[in-house]
Chain A
Amino acid sequence: MENIVKKWDSKVNSASDISVTARGTLSMLMQHLNEEDKRPVIKLSQGDPAAFPCFRTSHAAEEAVINALRSAKYNCYAPFVGIPPARRAVAEYLSRDLPYKLSPDDVYITSGGAQAMEIILSVLAGPGANILLPRPGFANYEARCAFSNLEVRHYDLLPEKGWEVDLDGVKALADENTIAIVIINPGNPCGNVFSYEHLKKIAKTAIELGLLVVADEVYGHLTFGCTPFVPMAVFGSSIPIITLGSISKRWSVTGWRLGWLVTCDPTGTLQKSRIVECINSSLKIISNPVTFIQGALPQILDLEKTNSDYFSISTSLLKEATEILCDKIKEIPSITCPTKPEGSVFAMVKLDFSQLEDIDDDMDFCVKLAKEESVIVLPGVIVGLKNWLRISFATDPKYLENGLERVKSFCKKHSKKHFY
């Protein structure tokens, strides 16, 4: 077998050499847990409300999936674009918030938002092309771009301006090879929700620069602050928008793997550029989402069928969680939360090392926090902001409170003595 060993030189296309994802880092942190610590591990890391019973999905959604399964009509392979009732249901669901109607043909059903992202990035990738990603952002974008050989340039989200896009920065970054800009709204990891005015400015900038906008809206409608969610596709008549979404977050079914890639383009610009053709080709060579979950989609997205309490209960739980988060963080001198989250399930908080002792950086903070307090949070360096932390509040409120209490004692233990 020496021959195989000789042949296997350095991994050319492994994503791991190039960038690190949240999942990978969280696994690593879990390995630092202290086995002697009998307390339960508290994970404030992954944006997964489905892990908590208080966020259990609506009964209507569960029944929809079971009915579709039992019908025995959906055990077959699905068409690569998705089954027609699913495409129609997504078109109708999204069109509710738009000034024009999407057609089912604009909708491609994918295995979660993750696969929608995979497809659009592989379509846009090409020699010399580059794409603009937010910083801080969602590390899977960088990983997938590396895998597809698509050059990445980062524009900043400004903490002092509620995490708005640094549009001057965007203009400076873009060149004739810049193909698209990705915006994540509601924001992961910042928990911000862009206002209509700001989205309009982003659209205007994108038009000036000739860029496609990829609007990652997996947290669509998961808002609980003053700013309402506005889908980027409202500007579709002025600029083509690719919307990525899923049922994962709003319905707390991250494990169901059902999402969509939608071309919001009433003027038909995307069709002319053959992007649509490329999306179709990509879909033909990948594995599709479960057929019976697609079959259940019309019932799931039928908002009248979903118990109307379901959404208000989950958003008020999230709102309560953000209150707990902000209050607790205020009690910790070495951590600040500049902007109270208004949407999604994450907040970015800043570490003040002038008040901490024997902690080198955010990664070291998280490793030691795992070891000493059995609490897992994501170091900001993974999302592009070193010496910040990303905290998930999509948890049971008491769980969050316990976790933050442990973070507080950790910080106290490591505080530079004269501050207490």
Chain B
Amino acid sequence: MENGASTKWRFEGNKDYNYNSNTNTKTAATLTVRALLNTLLDNLNQNDTRPVIPLGHGDPSAFPCFRTTSVAVDAIVDAVRSAYYNSYSPTVGILPARRAIADYLNRHLPYKLSPDDVYLTLGCTQAIEVIVSVLARPGANILLPRPGFPYYEAHAKHSHLEVRHFDLLPEKGWEVDLDAVEALADENTLALVIINPGNPCGNVYSYQHLQKIAETARKLGIMVIADEVYAHVSFGNNPFVPMGVFGSIAPVFTLGSISKRWIVPGWRLGWIVTSDPNGIFQKLGIVDSIKDSLNISSDPATFIQGAVPQILENTKEDFFSKTLDILRETADICYDRIKEIPCITCPNKPDGSMFLMVKLKTSLLEDISDDMEFALKLSKEESVIVLPGIAVGMKNWLRVTFAIEPTALEDGLGRIKAFYNRHAKKQ
């Protein structure tokens, strides 16, 4: 058979994969946190023998002090050994898992969710994909927080869903600028996304503020998408309150997973939950759209679904409190050390999640003009990775994670201080 080397391939030529959809996907891909972190990792100095300090992403699973509970591991081993969960699961997830998640969430909700309100997804990541694709339609828009989690923007771009940004106010503990929300919304606005506990800001919203958000949503006739992937990862004064509490004021989609609270982001087990006692989502057919989307997408591993009841019911409180103690400690370390570094300021000590935002004062630095340059040089010179705020919508800020082992954190912040000293403008 002749070699196809001389063939004119239909998939080559002027088409060149510059279709809008592929261009959108490519742009979308560059917007993700991981893509930017890869760029920073590529910039590391290979000759630096010191360990890399990863203050850029929220994945403490590699650190022994953050290792997940043996209850969760044993639950999975049991599920695998049972050989009961090797087959396909139903589109929405297996009933015992859905029931367990409903029960787990119901502990903090005034009215009870049913298992039918729960849809299992391949991590909270897929929950975001599904929700965005279900909402995407010509002319519609959704409201996203700034700073935020760029995966929303990436998927909205991929699905051709317009986004509008409202600010979180650093001077008000990163609360939502509700006046801006009202100004932004129009008759095509479908939803508003809040992330609580906050990524990237580390804030935990009060009951009152969440109620105001719900009332604003009701006034505007929009739904609330509550990204609660960091649910219960709160160690400050404000207790975590699920947005579903306000489901009778405005219908809520809650997105969550076991990834953060159990420190197992690689297990890919998340959910979309509808808190909608007035049945609005059902009436609109949104529930059917979610099922349709899930029907043609891949599911979480069935045996991990099978382990969910044991994981949610049997994990001991002291695993959670131990993890929160470490995070409280590292949040303190991070906040205190940052105070010693003049070119960065943290307006609000974090109360939850695994991140805080710091403002960069480039006027105090000799040869660094913005956050991207800061992050690139820091990676090369000190083998420390932080996320430039441009990635989350705030140029000249940085997102720093404190969810790493305490001595590594001290080391990393020490290196940032040394970096500052080296680049400080001479007085």
Contact = CB atoms under 8 A, between A and B. Distances in A.
Interface in A180-216: 180, 200, 203-204, 207, 209-212
Contacts of A273: 9, 11-12, 16-17
Interface string B79-115: 0110101111101000000000000000000000000
Interface centre among B76, B80, B218 (most CB of A within 10 A): B80
A187 to B, nearest CB: 20
B5 A267 contact: yes
Interface stretch (B28-36, B343-351, B396-404): B28-36
A204 B20 CA distance: 31
A147 B191 CA distance: 22
Interface stretch (A13-21, A302-310, A382-390): A13-21
A46 B17 contact: no
Interface string B345-376: 00000000000000000000000000000000
Contacts of B28: 281, 284-285
A35 interface: no
A4 interface: yes
Nearest to B85: A255
Contacts of A93: none
Contacts of A235: 1
B56 interface: no
Contacts of B15: 126, 129
Nearest to B306: A255
B1 A282 contact: no
B9 to A, nearest CB: 5
Interface residues of B, number: 95
A262 interface: no
Given A1-B280, A75-B61, A287 B129 contact: yes
A184 B399 CA distance: 47
B125 interface: yes
Contacts of B223: 4
Contact of A293 (B220, B251, B265, B301): B301
A8 B187 CA distance: 11
B298 A114 contact: yes
Interface in A246-297: 252-257, 267, 269, 272-275, 277-278, 280-282, 284-293
Interface stretch (B131-139, B165-173, B174-182, B202-210): B131-139
B62 A76 contact: yes
B77 A257 contact: no
Interface in A1-45: 1-9, 11-16, 21, 23-24
A255 B86 contact: yes
Q: Could you say which interface size class chain A belongs to?
A: 35 or more
Interface stretch (A49-57, A327-335, A368-376, A407-415): A49-57
B256 interface: no
A134 B67 CA distance: 48
A281 B32 CA distance: 10
A200 B2 CA distance: 11
A8 B266 contact: no
A281 B61 contact: no
Contact of B190 (A4, A46, A126, A274): A4
B427 interface: no
B22 A23 contact: no
Contact of B10 (A178, A238, A286, A287): A178
Given A122-B21, A235-B1, A284-B32, 5 more contacts: A50-B88, A75-B265, A273-B17, A288-B122, A291-B268
Interface of A: 1-9, 11-16, 21, 23-24, 46, 48, 50-51, 53, 56-57, 62, 65-66, 69-70, 72, 74-78, 80, 110-112, 114-115, 118, 122-127, 129, 140, 143-144, 147-149, 176-180, 200, 203-204, 207, 209-212, 235, 237-240, 252-257, 267, 269, 272-275, 277-278, 280-282, 284-293
Interface of B: 1-5, 7-12, 15-17, 19-22, 25-26, 28-29, 32, 34-35, 57, 59, 61-62, 67-68, 73, 76-77, 80-81, 83, 85-89, 91, 121-123, 125-126, 129, 133, 136-138, 140, 151, 154-155, 158-159, 187-188, 190, 218, 220-223, 250-251, 263-268, 278, 280, 283-286, 288-289, 292-293, 295-304
8 contacts: A2-B221, A8-B286, A13-B136, A69-B76, A177-B10, A207-B4, A238-B2, A281-B29
